[in-house]
Structure 1
Amino acid sequence: MSDATEVIGLLHRYADALDRRDWAALDTVFSPDVSADYAGSEIVSGRDNLAGMIRGYLDGCGPTQHLMGNESAAIDGETGTVTAKMRVHHIGQGRPDLQYEVFGWYHATVRRGPEGWRIVSWRQEVTHELGTYEVFGRG
């Protein structure tokens, strides 16, 4: 498997982990020292803090679908970058009338370590939103 294919696979594992609520799988996506910026609304340092922030949204939400496409990767030795278009749909837990959808890009810097490729810097760029944040059940 090529390095580019492996780092694009990180994005797919991220999407699957969130949609399946498989929080332990995030250990195979992010480095322990990851920094993340979710469109300026959430800025987090550290994998455990990032997983906690994500859970703060999705534990109160119903079904989600994180779709990625038009991925591109550039590798330079033990580091690289990967970018993908994203479209994410959220439905309220027990409230299908509540929906929130976001469009944009994910941008990541990756590093190869003893356990393989991991994301060390993560940024969500939002280009469009539809619906309500009430879908997250956060009050």
Structure 2
Amino acid sequence: MNDLEEIKTLKYRYLRALDTKNWDAFADTLTADVTGNYGASLSFTNRDDLVGFMRASVGPGIVTEHRVGHPEITVDDDTAAGRWYLQDRVIAPEFSFMLFGAAFYTDRYRRTADGWRISATGYDRTYEAKLSLDDLPSFALDVGPAILTEEP
């Protein structure tokens, strides 16, 4: 597999691990010194803090869906940069809340002894919409087995 395909696969694994709450696999996509910037008030300077926040905030009661496409990736030896178009959805049934939106992810990647890893990630929103599930009287949610409720 060439560098571009490996980086695409890495990004898809990052999102799959996030949406299935597989925190070990999620951590494995990141360098130890990863930086994360998910908006004006949400930033991180290392893997442990970023993964810890996601584990605490996007637990089993929160359903997420992240889709990326239109990758623009440039590779320069053992580093790379990428931009992705993101569409996402967050459903919090306990709070009768749904968010959906779009953004552009900006990533940096580093080749390590274990392959490509994300060394910086973040996004800038193009829009974000929020609604109360109370406004959708027919809303019903069934969560499939792909979402982990405990660590594997």
1:20 pairs with 2:30 = no
Provide the rounded CA distance (Å) in 1 between the counterparts of 2:113 and 2:90.
35
Alpha-carbon displacement from aligned partner over 1:19-59 (angstroms, at most 9, x marks no partner): 10000012321101101111222110111100011123211
TM-score by length of 1: 0.87
How far is 1:91 from its partner? Answer: 1.1
Higher share in strand: 1
How far is 1:102 from its partner? Answer: 2.4
TM-score by length of 2: 0.80
Partner of 2:73: 73
Counterpart of 2:74 in structure 1: which amino acid?
A
1:8–1:82 CA contact under 8 A, matched in 2: no
Counterpart of 2:124 in structure 1: which amino acid?
E
Which runs of 5 or more structure 2 residues have no equivalent in the other structure? 133-152
Which runs of 5 or more structure 1 residues have no equivalent in the other structure? 134-139
Q: Which of structures 1 and 2 has the bigger CA Rg? A: 2
Count of aligned pairs? 133
Partner of 1:131: 130
Provide the rounded CA distance (Å) in 2 between the counterparts of 1:123 and 1:108.
7
Counterpart of 1:2 in structure 2: which amino acid?
N
Provide the rounded CA distance (Å) in 1 between the counterparts of 2:113 and 2:55.
27
Provide the rounded CA distance (Å) in 2 between the counterparts of 1:64 and 1:26.
14
- What percent of counterpart residues are identical? 27
CA RMSD of aligned residues (A): 2.0
